């Protein structure tokens, strides 16, 4: 069934880092000196930044986790691939989200990329319908691949990941995962989000 290469993270690869110390964890050595993340300026209006970001079209995903900490899931657009060799992906999640702690404790997550038929499901996992975390999984058909994280059977593509690292950046956590399995359906349209509404690409 799987069409992607299975990647097993090496022993000790799961390094959970929940605090940046003076930018050292994000630093890169460049020409003999350390470059660290700059502290965001205070002059930029947050509302203008959010309005600008609302104009950036992005694919819509549901991020899921399961395990000893229980089920968790959110709708997200802050998702990106990092590398193909080995396959690595990341997503960003607000530190206050109950699903964030569950992803860390379970140590696994799955990125489920949505199609236009999943708009209602996206709203459920975005918390717009009042469903609690476990109750969100009553909608949709869910299976498992390698890690045990819930996989949406009808997704356009899925990336089954084992958590490798967590970085805290301001209000959010950057979750980095080693992709252990992928699967995908027939080529078709994807669900997008821009101008605070769903679209089709």
How do residues 77-97 score in pLDDT, each as one tens digit? 999 999 999 999 999 999 999
End-to-end CA gap in the chain: 26
The tens digit of pLDDT for each residue in 104-155 reads 999 999 999 999 999 999 999 999 999 999 999 999 999 999 999 999 999 9
Q: Per-residue confidence at 186, pLDDT binned at 50, 70, 90?
A: confident
How many CA atoms does the CB half-sphere of 150 hold within 13 Å?
Answer: 23
Q: Which has the higher per-residue pLDDT, 83 or 4?
A: 83
Alpha helices in the chain (DSSP H): 46-53, 98-106, 119-125
The tens digit of pLDDT for each residue in 151-180 reads 999 999 999 999 999 999 999 999 999 999
Range scoring the smallest mean pLDDT among 25-34, 82-91, 185-194: 25-34
- CATH number of this structure's domain 15-26+47-200: 2.30.110.10
What distance in Å separates the CA atoms of residue 79 and residue 91, rounded to the nearest whole number? Answer: 4
Grouping H, G, I as helix, E, B as strand and the rest as coil, residue 185 is coil
Phi-psi region at 88: left, alpha or beta (left = phi > 0; alpha = psi -120 to 50) = beta
Q: Among 29-38, 85-94, 184-193, which range has the highest average pLDDT?
A: 85-94
Grouping H, G, I as helix, E, B as strand and the rest as coil, residue 151 is strand
pLDDT at 135: 96
What distance in Å separates the CA atoms of residue 73 and residue 83, rounded to the nearest whole number? Answer: 24
The tens digit of pLDDT for each residue in 37-55 reads 455 666 788 899 999 999 9
Listing DSSP states for 62-112 in one string gives EEEE-STT--EEEEES-EEEEEETTEEEEEEEETT-HHHHHHHHH-EEEEE
Residues comprising the chain, all counted: 201
């Amino acid at each position: 069934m799987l069409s992607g290469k299975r990647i097993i993270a090496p022993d000790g690869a799961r390094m959970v880092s929940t605090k940046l110390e003076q930018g050292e964890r994000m630093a890169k050595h460049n020409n003999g000196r350390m470059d660290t993340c700059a502290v965001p300026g205070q002059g930029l209006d947050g509302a203008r930044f959010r309005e600008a970001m609302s104009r950036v079209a992005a694919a819509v995903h549901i991020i899921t986790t399961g395990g000893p900490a229980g089920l968790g899931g959110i709708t997200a657009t802050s998702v990106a691939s990092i590398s193909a060799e080995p396959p690595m992906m990341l997503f960003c999640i607000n530190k206050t989200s109950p699903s964030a702690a569950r992803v860390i404790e379970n140590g696994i997550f799955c990125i489920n990329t949505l199609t236009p038929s999943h708009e209602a499901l996206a709203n459920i996992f975005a918390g717009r319908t009042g469903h609690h975390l476990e109750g969100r999984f009553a909608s949709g058909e869910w299976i498992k691949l390698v890690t045990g994280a819930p996989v949406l059977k009808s997704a356009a593509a899925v990336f089954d990941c084992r958590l490798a690292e967590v970085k805290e950046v301001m209000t959010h956590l950057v979750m980095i995962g080693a992709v252990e399995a992928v699967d995908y359906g027939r080529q078709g349209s994807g669900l997008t989000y821009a101008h605070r509404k769903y679209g089709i690409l």
